[in-house]
Amino acid sequence: MTVEERAWKYVETMDPAVSGQHGHIATFKVACTLVNDFALEKATAMKIIQWYNDHKCEPKWPQHALEHKIDDALKNRDGRYGQKVRGKQLPYTSRMNTTPYSGVQGRERDGDAGDSMTTLSDPKTSGVCPGVNVGEQIEESIARKRYSVKWPWPSLDRLTQALLPGAITILSAPPGTSKSLFLLEAMFYWLRNQIPFATLMLEEDQTYHVRRALAQLACNVNMLNEDWCAENPDKARQTYEDHIETMNEFGRHIYEVEDAVDGQIIAQWVRDMCIKNIRVIAVDPISAKIPRANIWIDDHNAMMKLKAHLKKSGSSLILITHPPKMRPGINPTADGSFGIGGGAAFEKFAQTALYLRGMRDDEEVEIRNADGSSTRETVNRKLEIRKARNGRGGGFSIGLHFDPQTATHVERGVIVD
């Protein structure tokens, strides 16, 4: 079979172009496939795209529009050029070259990688023409099919877009800074808004977390106090009965483990959640996993697997962790933080990195309001945005007030330095 005949057969299987359903993108994909993947000349490509126009376009494109699409596709030839002539798609290609980069083999890190080898290659070209993929994303955003899942705290959404499809967020905080309660509060928000979510709890069991969630639901932290429940049995039972249905529904989203797990098992669980089309996935805390001998390599490989699963499913991932233990002679960074625990690869591959800082006492800070004015507010938590690859909030801090009676956080606004 000739290359032209193969191109005909392939185009017959491609999606139709329908007005109002991204018909321009579908037709441009055909043009790119013909002149790029099959390396056809303009005249041959025009014959095939004309057949596509007659049989799979509604309504049909005028002749000059088809020529324009073929011309644009010719200008966008990239590293996938001729891939279907060669009979297989190259895993890594360059936009500037028509042959794959041979790569350089070497150890990941001296003394760390053992026998593991890596191949360095040119950047991957995702899609027939890069501009087409951008166009599809924009159309999905316009149709509100692509969006960042909201948090209960509006400034966090506005500054980070942390929960875009495929994105990873790190939330770090010292022990006792209410980071798990922060996550539970967000989980309730997603439950109320019918956002599919799942959380893998690595330290305590399901009952422990659902009881803490009950305290938030009832706005009564006394529900966690055994003496108070014993002294107030009627109130405790009534609170339980008032919220039993919500607790049951909430608890179904919490997964627990019987034994310690490593990064690869966590990656497998995330994959299973992605297959179930869970939109927001969380692990609390990722730093509780079992470290392996080559911890950086283990974490790196796990994160690469996680990113692949998330990209395919459009899920978002939240990893809860804590600052690493301090050793004598080790000083905190200039901003007073201690980084994150559980491995440097987590922060490296995350699009958003958050640090929840607790305070000994309430502190009055200047808050910037949405209208540009400023007010003085009392806070006892600062949510520092260390990294915001999908937003403009890197370096900002959000003032929160944690109410120990309700175990919930109230946003005050963005802190003015």
Tens digits of residue pLDDT in 265-284: 888 899 999 999 999 999 99
Q: Are 119 and 152 in the same domain?
A: no
Is residue 104 very low, low, confident or very high in pLDDT (cuts 50, 70, 90)?
very low
Section 397-410 average pLDDT: 95
The pLDDT value given to residue 226? 97
Torsion of CA 25, 30, 32, 33, to 10 degrees: 140
pLDDT at 77: 64
- Comparing 165 with 301, which gets the higher pLDDT? 165
pLDDT tens digits, residue range 166-206? 999 999 988 888 999 999 999 999 999 999 999 999 988 99
Domain end call among 317, 352, 387: 352
CA 220-223-229 angle, 5° bins = 130
Taking each helix axis as running N to C, give the angle between helix 63-75 and helix 23-32, from 0 to 180 degrees, rounded to the nearest 10.
60
**Which residue among 97, 126, 141 closes a domain?**
141
Q: CATH code at 277?
A: 3.40.50.300
Picking from 326, 352, 378, the residue at the C-terminal end of a domain is 352
Q: What's residue 54's pLDDT?
A: 92
Q: CA separation (Å) from 58 to 10, 25, 66, 159?
A: 20, 13, 14, 41
Segment 140-156 mean pLDDT: 92
Question: Lowest-pLDDT range, 53-62, 72-81, 106-115, 361-370?
Answer: 106-115
Residue 134: the pLDDT is: 82
Do the Cβ atoms of 63 and 85 come closer than 8 Å? no
Same domain for 159 and 84: no
- pLDDT tens column, 317-358: 999 987 765 433 434 443 334 445 445 666 778 999 999 999
Distance of alpha carbon 100 from alpha carbon 77, whole angstroms: 15
Domain check: are 42 and 180 in the same one?
no
d(C-alpha 77, C-alpha 32), whole Å? 8
For residues 208-213, give the mean pLDDT: 95
pLDDT at 45: 93
pLDDT of residue 133: 76
pLDDT given for residue 329 in this prediction: 40
* Per-residue pLDDT at 379 exceeds 80: yes
Q: Is residue 307 part of a domain?
A: yes
Q: How many CA atoms lie within 13 A of 296 on its CB side?
A: 10
Contact 212, 199 (CB under 8 A): no
Residue range(s) defining the domain that contains residue 20: 3-141
Is the pLDDT assigned to residue 292 strictly greater than 60?
Answer: no
HSE (CB half, 13 Å, CA atoms) of 184?
A: 23
pLDDT digits (tens, 9 = 90+) for 25-79: 889 889 988 988 888 989 999 999 999 999 999 999 999 999 998 988 887 665 5
Same domain, 155 and 280: yes
- State whether the Cα torsion 417-178-285-328 is positive or negative: positive
- Counted domains in the chain: 2
